[in-house]
Amino acid sequence: MTTSLAPHAANPPTPVPTPVPIPLPTRATAPRGWPLLRLGFRPFYLGAAAYGMLAVPLWIALLLGQVSLTLTVAPLLWHAHDMLFGFAVAVIVGFLLTAGKAWTGLATPRGGVLAALAALWLAARLAAVLAPYAVYAVLDLLLLPLVAGILARVLLRAGNRRNLPLVAILLLLALANAAFHASMAGVIDIAPVRALHAGLALIVMIECVIAGRVIPAFTMSALPGLKLKVPQALELATLVTTALGLALWVLAPPQAFTAIVLAAAALLHARRLWQWQPLRTRARPILWVLHAAYAWLPIGLVLLALSQIGVVGVSAGIHALAVGTTGGLIIGMMTRTARGHTGRPLKVSRLEVAAYLLVAGAALTRVVLPLLMPQHLLVWLVAAAAAWGLAFGLYLFVFAPWLVSTRLDGKDG
C-alpha cells in the first residue's frame, strides 16, 4: 500500500487567522496636553466657581467691617463690577469657547493660548486688590475683545453666521466695561453704576439667546416624546422687547414708558417659559434648575418696571436678575455642560441638587425677604452670601477633580 504525503481532502489544515491591528486613537480624538487646558470650560469654570465662593462672602465681610482690604475702587463698585465682569464673564467665556467648537467642529483655544486667557482673567481679579488702578483697568479690559475676536474667527471660518450676534454682544459688553473704567478714571462724565447696569443688561441678553436654545432642547432630549415648539413670532417679540426695555432702563431716566416696556417683556418671558412646559421637569433636577432660574427673569423685569415708578428700589430687580437668573443659570449650566464634556452621565448627585437649592435660596433671601422685612436687611445679606458661597464651594468639591482630569471616555476635550 502506498501512503500519500498529500493532505486528505476531507481534512484540510486549519487556516491561521490574520491578526487585525487594533486602531489607535487618531490625533483628532486622542487626549493631548494637561486636561485642565484642553477645552475652555475647564479653567474658566474652575476659576469662576472659586471666585464666586470667595468674592461674595468677602464683600459682605467688607460691608460689615469684619475685613480690611485695600481695593482700587470703592467696595460696592468692586462687588458689582467683578460679579459681572469677573464671575459671570468667566462662565460666559468658558461656555462660548466650548460651544464654539461644538457649533463649528473647529478647534478653539487650548494649551498655552487657553492658559494665557485664563491667566489674564485671574491677573485682573488679583490686580483689583494688589495693583494700581491703571494696571487693574488695562488687564480687565483685554479679555473680552480677545475672546470676541477668537470666536468671530472660528464662526466665520465655519460659515456659522447664526451665532455671530453673540460676538456683537461680547463687544458691547467690552464697551460697557470700558465705559466703567473710563468713568472711574474721569475720562467720561457718566456714573460708573450706569455702565454696570449696561453690563448686566447685556449679560441678560446673552442668557435670553442661549436659554432659548438650550432649555427646550435639553428638556426634549431628557423627556422622550415631548415636542416643544415656540412660535418664531413670540421668540422675536421676546428678544426685541427685552432689548428695548433694558436699553431704556440703562440709558433713559426713570419713566412710565420704560416700566410698560419692561412689564411687557416680563409677560413675554413668562409665556415663553410656559411653552417649555416647566412642570414636566419636576423629577429631573438637572432640568428644573434651568427652568427655575429662567423664572427669575420675568420676576426681575417686573421689579425693574416697578422701580421705574418708585414702587420698589432698583436693587430688587438687579439682584433678581443677577442672583436668581444669572446665578441659577450658571450653576445649572456649569453642572450640565461639565458633566457632558467630561464624559459623565447627565444625572446630578445630591450635592449638586444642594447647590441648586442654595443658589435659589440665596436669590429668595437677597430679593424677596428684604422687600418683606427690610428692617433685617443685614441678616438677609449675610444669609444670602453664605448660601451663595456654600453653593459654589459644593460645585468645586464635586467638579474640581473632574475639571483637572481626562474625560471618563478617554476622548479629548
- Render 80-133 in DSSP notation, one character per residue: HHHIIIIIIHHHHHHHHHHHHHHHHSS----HHHHHHHHHHHHHHHHHHHHS-H
Same domain, 231 and 329: yes
Query: Model confidence at 68, in pLDDT bands (50, 70, 90)?
Result: confident
Q: How far apart are CA 256 and CA 263, in angstroms?
A: 10
**Could you give the percent of the chain with pLDDT greater than 70?**
93
Examine residue 392 and state whether it is found in any structural domain, yes or no: yes
- For position 413, what pLDDT does the model report? 85
Predicted pLDDT at 264:
98
Are both 270 and 126 inside the same structural domain?
A: no
Contact (CB, 8 A) for 258 and 249: yes
Compute how many other C-beta atoms are within 10 angstroms of the C-beta atom of residue 224: 6
pLDDT per position as a tens digit, 238-260: 999 999 999 999 999 999 999 99
Q: Is residue 283 part of a domain?
A: yes
Say if residue 158 is in the same domain as residue 196: no
- Categorize the per-residue pLDDT at 4 as very low, low, confident or very high, splitting at 50, 70 and 90: very low
- CA pair distance 384, 294, nearest whole angstrom: 19
pLDDT value at 30 more than 70: no
Mean pLDDT of the chain: 92
Does 207 lie in the same domain as 150? no
Claim to verify: residue 87 and residue 224 sit in the same structural domain = no
Grid cell, residue 409, equals 471616555
Q: Is pLDDT of 323 > 90?
A: yes
Residue 118 within a domain: yes
Same structural domain for residues 152 and 240?
Answer: no
Q: Look at the chain and report how many structural domains it folds into.
A: 2
Instruction: Give counts: helices (H), strands (E), the chain.
Output: 15, 0
Residue 20 lies in a domain: no
Look at residue 200 and tell me if it is in a domain: yes
Task: Write out the DSSP string of 76-94.
Answer: HHHHHHHIIIIIIHHHHHH
CA 113 to chain centre: 21
What is the tens place of the pLDDT at every residue in 267-281?
999 999 999 999 999
**Residue 46 half-sphere exposure toward CB, CA atoms < 13 A:** 18
The answer to whether residues 254 and 370 belong to one domain is: yes
| pLDDT at 27 (0 to 100) | 46
Categorize the per-residue pLDDT at 29 as very low, low, confident or very high, splitting at 50, 70 and 90: low
Q: What is the mean pLDDT of residues 54-66?
A: 94
CA angle 207, 208, 213 (to 5 degrees): 95
In a shared domain, residues 202 and 266: yes
C-alpha cell recorded at residue 330: 450658571
Whether 244 and 389 share a structural domain: yes
Q: How far apart are CA 199 and CA 177, in angstroms?
A: 7
Q: Give Cα 146 distance to the centre of its chain.
A: 18
Q: Is the predicted pLDDT of residue 39 greater than 90, yes or no?
A: yes
Query: Quick count: other Cβ atoms within 10 Å of Cβ 76?
Result: 12
E strand residue ranges, 123-180: none
How many Å separate Cα 376 from the centre of its chain? 31
Q: What is the pLDDT of residues 180-231, one digit of tens each?
A: 999 999 999 999 999 999 999 999 999 999 999 999 999 998 888 889 888 9
Give the mean pLDDT of 293-300: 98
Residue scoring higher pLDDT (108 or 29): 108
How many of the other CB atoms lie within 10 Å of CB of 280?
Answer: 16
pLDDT digits (tens, 9 = 90+) for 368-389: 999 999 999 999 999 999 999 9
Query: What band does 147 get if pLDDT is binned at 50, 70 and 90?
Result: very high
State whether 149 and 201 are in the same domain: no
Q: 17 in a domain, yes or no?
A: no
The yes-or-no verdict on residue 18 having pLDDT over 50 is no
Rounded Cα distance between 194 and 311, Å, is: 20
* Domain carrying residue 375: 191-400
Beta carbons within 8 Å of 239's beta carbon, 6+ residues apart: 205, 208, 209, 212
Q: Are residues 127 and 201 in the same domain?
A: no
The CA distance from 110 to 116, in Å, is: 10
| pLDDT the model gives residue 131 | 94
pLDDT band at 33 (very low <50, low <70, confident <90, very high): confident
Q: Is residue 10's pLDDT more than 80?
A: no
Q: Indicate whether 315 pLDDT > 90.
A: yes
Q: Rounded CA gap, 400 and 398, in Å? A: 6
- How far CA 219 is from CA of 222, 267, 280, in Å, comes to 5, 22, 9
Same-domain check for residues 226 and 342: yes
Does residue 12 carry a pLDDT above 60? no
223 touches 280 (CB < 8 A): yes
Alpha-helical (H) ranges within 322-376 are 328-341, 350-363, 369-372
* Calpha distance 381→50 (Å, rounded): 20
3-state secondary structure of 243: helix
Query: What pLDDT is stored for residue 22 in this prediction?
Result: 38
Average confidence (pLDDT) over 399-409 = 95
Tell which wins on pLDDT, 266 or 27.
Answer: 266
Q: How far apart are CA 36 and CA 402, in angstroms?
A: 9
The answer on pLDDT for 19 being more than 60 is no
- Residue 35 CA to residue 347 CA, distance in Å, equals 23
Other CB atoms within a 10 A radius of the CB of residue 319 amount to 24
What was the pLDDT predicted at 90?
A: 98
